[in-house]
């Protein structure tokens, strides 16, 4: 298989699983709050991490596990707090208005939250940086660049498809109860991931 396609499909397989970051992007897409900027920040963050892995920084992270440990506990704390907020929204908010009609949080607060979901996730270092970096080693210089471009392209395609594709689920979220269920599920997901990070 062409190195670019290999990078595309490997990267896609790593990010397509429903996780904390993807749940956040999905919810922003459903709310129609800063969707373009959230998708762009996620994709650009992945691009930086993929480039770092291909450039050889994956070996540095493997040599210094303290980086992964700090991200693991910091990420667990962040996810626990965000999960608590989701539960509060599910059980303590009326949801009388459709969320896309609500006044969104400030852009900078939304983007900081988005960055935290990306950079406080220890799996992003192990999967995106270490794994993609290790696989890229088998390719020569030009093919390795194509591999990286393919991997980065997959990230852009996925996040923008998830963020802007979420609006097609809009009819399902016309009723407040649907948002309560979504917030509850996101809260459970965040807390589950937080606990798994601490126990890892």
Q: What is the pLDDT of residue 68?
A: 67
**Assigned token pair, 84:** 């608590």
pLDDT at residue number 96:
45
CA distance 182 to 23: 10
Tens-digit pLDDT profile for residues 4-47: 888 898 888 778 765 778 889 988 998 889 999 999 999 999 99
Task: Quote the pLDDT of residue 97.
Answer: 42
Alpha-helical (H) ranges within the chain are 3-15, 20-31, 35-52, 58-63, 66-92, 107-119, 122-124, 132-136, 141-165, 176-199
Q: What is the pLDDT of residues 89-125, one digit of tens each?
A: 777 655 544 444 556 778 999 999 999 988 888 778 7
- Average pLDDT, rounded, for the chain: 81
**Count of positions (residues) in the chain:** 200
CA atoms within 13 A of residue 139's CA, in its CB half-sphere: 22
Higher pLDDT, 65 or 80: 80
How many Cβ atoms from other residues are within 10 Å of residue 132's Cβ?
Answer: 25
- Which residue reads 């969104």 in tokens? 104
Q: What percent of the chain has pLDDT over 70?
A: 88
């Amino acid at each position: 298989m062409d190195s670019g396609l290999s990078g595309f499909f490997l990267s896609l397989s790593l990010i397509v699983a429903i996780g904390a970051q993807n749940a956040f992007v999905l919810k922003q897409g459903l709310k129609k709050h800063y969707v373009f900027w959230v998708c762009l920040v996620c994709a650009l963050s992945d691009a930086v991490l993929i480039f770092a892995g291909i450039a050889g920084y994956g070996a540095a992270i493997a040599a210094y596990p303290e980086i992964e440990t700090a991200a693991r506990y910091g990420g667990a704390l962040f996810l626990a707090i965000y999960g608590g907020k989701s539960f509060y929204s599910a059980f303590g908010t009326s949801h009388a208005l459709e969320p896309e009609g609500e006044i969104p949080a400030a852009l900078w607060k939304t983007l900081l939250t988005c960055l935290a979901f990306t950079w406080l996730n220890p799996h992003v270092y192990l999967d995106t940086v270490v794994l993609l970096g290790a696989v890229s080693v088998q390719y020569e210089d030009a093919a390795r660049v194509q591999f990286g471009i393919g991997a980065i392209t997959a990230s852009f395609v996925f996040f923008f498809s998830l963020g802007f594709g979420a609006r097609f689920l809009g009819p399902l979220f016309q009723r407040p109860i649907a948002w309560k269920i979504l917030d509850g599920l996101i809260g459970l997901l965040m807390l589950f991931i937080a606990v798994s990070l601490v126990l890892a």
